[in-house]
Amino acid sequence: MTEFDTEVYYDDDADVSTVQDETVAVLGYGSQGHAHAQNLDDSGVDVVVGLRKSSASRQEAETDGLEVATPANAAAAADRVVMLVPDTVQPAVYEDIREGMDAGDTLQFAHGFNIHYGQIEPPEDVDVTMVAPKSPGHLVRRTYKRGEGVPGLLAVYQDATGEAHAEGLAYAKAIGCTRAGVIETSFQEETETDLFGEQAVLCGGVTEMVKAGFETLVDAGYAPEMAYFECLNELKLIVDLMYEGGHMGMWNSVSDTAEYGGLTRGEEVIDREGMQEILEGVQSGEFAREWINENQAHRPAYRQYRGAEQSHQIEQVGDRLRELFAWDEQAEEEVPADD
């Protein structure tokens, strides 16, 4: 046991030979797919990548030395099928591969959305697990090659064989997550906390706060360039400090003036009732139903919101400034979307 309330597992808790005895079908070769497949291959696991015949990623996977087959053929040949295509296409892909799954096989995910909200209903005679690195795929691969790893999550939804937990840990070790630590969770907890975090804080909350701050300064007559630097560009510096040392690590690094101002004024911009409403929408399935219906209607609202975001003044200002200044950060490697 660790000193945390939740169990955390490391290399010594996992036996990688469990997954080395399997054939693993990795469906998708995008951000997560390429990293899982290559790390598994380097760990001595028999991997076949499942991609549509028309997928632009087929040649890339083959160039990387991996066997490639259609999703249906990959699943039929595998003992473990890992769903790493986007949430929105997983139900259709599952319909293509379900006949190829045998009793005792494992159906594995990196996000619990489709299982938790009933979009995929697996047979009772297969294990259903989740191994979810808490990192973009390129870091999963990069840290693995350095002999390190990124933290991950492990969940068991259905244990038909009695070995699902051990097999999930073996997979986590094969992709490098147990080097950093793997936290045990559930499909429900992972899905609901992930959606809430994305909507209220990491993606929705942060971008709206940045835009609101930018607009407040510009509307008050300050230069858009100054507003951009203060409300967007410097955000990375603050987040890096928080990542490295938590809130106190950040407060200890900024000026006393910044600390006092933040501690006394920050709460004024937070709508806790709104956050609670977002969480309730996730817990009730309201958001999931809305997103499913949006995709079935070919994403009209999604395109409208995305267009408005792209045309916002902060994007135009940022484009100009990023061209003018030599940023210190190295460009991240580009990885295609999951296929």
Q: pLDDT, tens digit, for every residue of 76-104?
A: 999 999 999 999 999 999 999 999 999 99
Residues in the chain: 339
Residue 40 pLDDT grade (very low, low, confident, very high; cuts 50, 70, 90): very high
> Average pLDDT, stretch 50-61?
95
User: Which residues form the catalytic set?
Assistant: 111
Residue-level pLDDT at 2:
46
Contacts of 209-216 with CB under 8 Å at 24 or more apart are 209/269, 210/235, 210/314, 211/312, 211/314, 212/269, 214/313, 214/314
Residue-level pLDDT at 3:
59
pLDDT at 241 over 70: yes
> Average pLDDT, stretch 118-138?
96
Residue 7 pLDDT grade (very low, low, confident, very high; cuts 50, 70, 90): confident
pTM given for the model: 0.90
